[in-house]
């Protein structure tokens, strides 16, 4: 599932970040900011207009990502153990 499709509040784990094109700087920055395999993420809020941007919590940091940015991140939802 893409991070941009994640329902609000449900916990998930980052699978990978895909480059939208070769040498995609946005994807590289996402990885630098900690969007790497195995990190838990959560959708905290959506922007008021067109549900964009998204407020994503990763670790103890919150980032505002536009939908197109969040779409680069693939996540898997954890099944409650």
Partner 1 sequence: MSAGSLRIALVGNPNCGKTALFNQLTGGRQKVANYAGVTVERKEGRFTAPSGRVLHLLDLPGAYSFDAASPDEQITRDVCEGVYPGEPAPDLIVCVADATNLRLHLRFVLEVKRLGRPVVLALNMMDTARRRGIVIDVPELQRRLGLPVVETVAVKRGGAQALIERVDGEVPPAAMAQADDAASRADLHAQVRELLAATVAMPRATAAIDDALDRWALHPVFGLGILAVLMFLIFQAVFSWAQPLMDGIEAGVAALGGWLTSALPADSALHSLLNDGIFAGLGAVLVFLPQILILFLFILILEESGYLPRAAFLLDKLMFKAGLTGRAFIPLLSSFACAIPGIMATRSITDPRDRLTTILVAPLMTCSARLPVYTLLIAAFIPQRTLWGLFNLQGVVLFTLYVAGIVSALAVAFVIKRFRKDKSEHALLMELPSYRMPNVRDVALGLWERAKIFLKRVGGIILALTVLLWFLSSFPGPPPGATGPAIDYSLAGRLGQALHYVFAPIGFNWQICIALVPGLAAREVAVSALGTVYAMSGSDDTVASQLGPLISQQWSLATALSLLAWYVFAPQCMSTLAVIRRETNSWRNVAITAGYLFGLAYLASLITYQVARALS
Using the rule CB under 8 A, give the single segment among 1-9, 36-44, 73-81 that binds partner 1.
36-44
Q: Which of 3, 53, 73, 75 binds partner 1 (CB under 8 A)?
A: 53
Q: Which of 59, 76, 77, 78 binds partner 1 (CB under 8 A)?
A: 59
Three-state SS letters, the chain: CEHHHCCCCCCEEEEEECCCCCCCHHHHHHHHCCCCCCCEEEEEEEEEECCEEEEEEECCEEEEECHHHHCCEEEEECCCC
Residues that bind partner 1 (CB under 8 A): 20, 25-26, 28-34, 36, 38-39, 44-50, 52-53, 55, 57, 59-66, 68-69
């Amino acid at each position: 599932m893409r991070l941009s499709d994640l329902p609000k509040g449900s916990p998930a784990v980052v699978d990978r970040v895909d480059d939208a094109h070769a040498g995609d700087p946005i994807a590289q920055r996402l990885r630098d900011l900690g969007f790497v395999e195995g990190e838990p993420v959560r959708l905290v809020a959506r922007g008021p207009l067109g549900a964009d941007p998204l407020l994503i919590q990763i670790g103890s940091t919150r980032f505002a990502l536009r939908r197109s940015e969040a779409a680069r991140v693939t996540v898997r939802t954890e099944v409650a153990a």
